[in-house]
Amino acid sequence: MADNASVLSVSIVTPDGRVYENQGTFLAVTTKLGQLGIMPNHVPVISSLEVDVVRVKHGEDEDKIAVNGGFLEFSNNAATIVADSAERQDDIDVARAENARQRAEATIKKAQAAHDADNLARAQVALRRAVNRINVAKH
Ligand code: ATP
């Protein structure tokens, strides 16, 4: 790979351990304030992340990781993402995510009927996680 000034290293960690570690030439994340693209030598950033895909480009390839929120810290060409959970594209169990999606949709319907705001909010978050995993696995 090229010299350190033209690459960035990306590390994604969760309570279960390091899910991803690689070098790349471009990092794309979705922050609470919108999309953020980071190239080498970008200014330092600390940002909260949405439940969404994280993309890391290196050469002609692009790695995709489903990230469940968390936050990003970037400085000195090193990005660290800390999240409750994260899965590399190839590690996503699509059937499990489809089950989680169906469960969350059923819970949302019940919670709406019962005006149960707590369960509704929890199920909406679970639905976002499941849909994100399905999207990352399939694209
Ligand atoms: P489920 O209801 O299927 O457990 P969840 O959204 O409640 O889904 P999390 O609590 O976010 O699951 O994650 C628990 C652990 O399981 C984490 O280590 C996460 O990476 C892993 N995980 C969850 N769903 C999947 C999936 N579809 N494929 C691979 N790993 C998954």
pLDDT values of the chain reduced to their tens digit, one per residue, 139 residues: 455 678 999 999 999 999 999 999 999 999 999 999 999 999 999 999 999 999 999 989 999 999 999 999 999 999 999 999 999 999 999 999 999 999 999 999 999 999 999 999 999 999 999 999 999 999 8
Residue 8 burial (C-beta neighbours within 10 Å; 0-12, 13-18, 19+): buried
Q: How far is the CA of 36 from the centre of ligand 1 (A)?
A: 25
> What pLDDT does residue 124 have?
97
| Choice from 51, 81, 85 to test ligand 1 binding pocket (greatest atom count within 8 A of CB) | 85
Q: How far is the CA of 6 from the centre of ligand 1 (A)?
A: 34
What are the residues whose beta carbons fall under 8 Å from the beta carbon of 15, sequence distance 6 or more? 84
Protein residue with its CA nearest to atom 2 in ligand 1: 100
pTM recorded for the entire structure: 0.94
| Choice from 13, 18, 82, 87 to test ligand 1 binding pocket (greatest atom count within 8 A of CB) | 87
Q: How far is the CA of 30 from the centre of ligand 1 (A)?
A: 20
Three-state SS annotation for 40-92: CCCCCEEEEECEEEEEEEECCEEEEEEEECCEEEEECCEEEEECCCEEEHHHC
Q: How far apart are CA 69 and CA 71, in angstroms?
A: 7
Q: How far apart are CA 56 and CA 98, in angstroms?
A: 25
Q: How far apart are CA 66 and CA 54, in angstroms?
A: 6
